[in-house]
Chains A and B, each alone.
Chain A
Amino acid sequence: MKLKVRIKNKECEIDVLEKDGKLFIKVGDKEFVFGIGEEKKEEEIVLMDSKVECFLKEIKSSLSGSISEVFLKEGDVVKKNQKILTLSAMKMENEIVSESKGKIKKIMVKTGDKVKEGDILIILE
């Protein structure tokens, strides 16, 4: 699309083209591309998301109940899907497994403790 633009009292014709989410503006024989900055922003958002994943270091209880058994100790390295503890809740026995890997910084519960939904069970480093 051709547009007329006045810059410092000088009128010129520019050619504006939108393509692949970018804005191409051609002034004379020079071409300016806009939209790259926004792309970088998107990349930053992705990075922030992966950081959020990294900071998911608290394993919380999804149920209210009592701790039947804790299988790990502080300092242990836990793998994804590894059994951490058993929680007796709603008259069922529930093996709580880790959703991420990491080193156990602190175990917040012990056998016999009562926990509520959302309570932190374990903190990973």
Chain B
Amino acid sequence: MEIKKFKKLASTNIKAKELIEEGALPWTVVVSQEQDCGYGRKGEKWISPKGGLYFSVILPKNNIDDLQLLTILTAFVIAKIIKEEFNIEPLIKLPNDILLNGKKICGILTENVIGKDVKSSVMGVGLNTNTESFPGLESIATSLSKEIGREVDNDKILEKIIEEIKKQLETISK
């Protein structure tokens, strides 16, 4: 697994797709401290200031059903890690979002390139870890640090998530 770290990107999904064109291998992970144009499904904006964990994973080639399943499983994986690490109760809003106390804390977006079959896939995750404020969105968005009252380790959370996603993909691909 190769982790490519950036200070600022338009979007980690966009960068990951560019890297695929340049020959990047599956399980390359693109992480950025902030995103200018983070987005979710149907182009909805994902506010991505410093402090949050924003990353995309280049997935191995897979069939479309497994990719959908993996997206759902990733939501479960992240919710499980949040619960185990911080002893709080997240709510999975299937298939792409995780909420804490009714507010959005995580979004997942899988993007595929399809010709006759799936040519490539990237899965992007936006997790509000240490985001301090959400101007204009305080009623619908929150972060881990706001909920538990302390900062969390982004690198450690990222490693755990990737490790779990790999495990899940191995299981569903068997």
Binding site for B on A (CB under 8 A): 62-63, 68, 81, 83, 87-88, 90-99
Contacts and interface: CB of A to CB of B under 8 A. Distances in A.
B75 to A, nearest CB: 10
A111 to B, nearest CB: 11
Contacts of B116: 62, 99
B96 interface: yes
A103 to B, nearest CB: 19
Q: How many B residues are at the interface, by size bracket?
A: 20 to 34
Contacts of A96: 114-115
B112 A94 contact: yes
Contact of B96 (A81, A91, A95, A98): A91
Contacts of B67: 90, 92
A91 B71 contact: yes
Contact of A92 (B43, B112, B117, B119): B112
Contacts of B119: 97
A97 B119 CA distance: 9
Given A68-B43, A97-B119, A91 B112 contact: no
19 contacts: A62-B64, A62-B116, A63-B64, A81-B115, A88-B41, A91-B41, A91-B68, A92-B64, A92-B71, A92-B109, A92-B110, A92-B111, A92-B112, A93-B41, A93-B42, A93-B111, A95-B113, A97-B113, A97-B115
Nearest to B43: A68
B95 A91 contact: yes
Interface of B: 41-43, 64-65, 67-68, 71, 95-96, 109-117, 119
Given A63-B64, A90-B64, A90-B68, A95 B42 contact: no
Contacts of A97: 113-115, 119
Contacts of A68: 42-43
Nearest to A80: B115
Contacts of A95: 111-114
The 3 closest A-B pairs by CB, nearest first: A90-B68, A92-B110, A91-B95
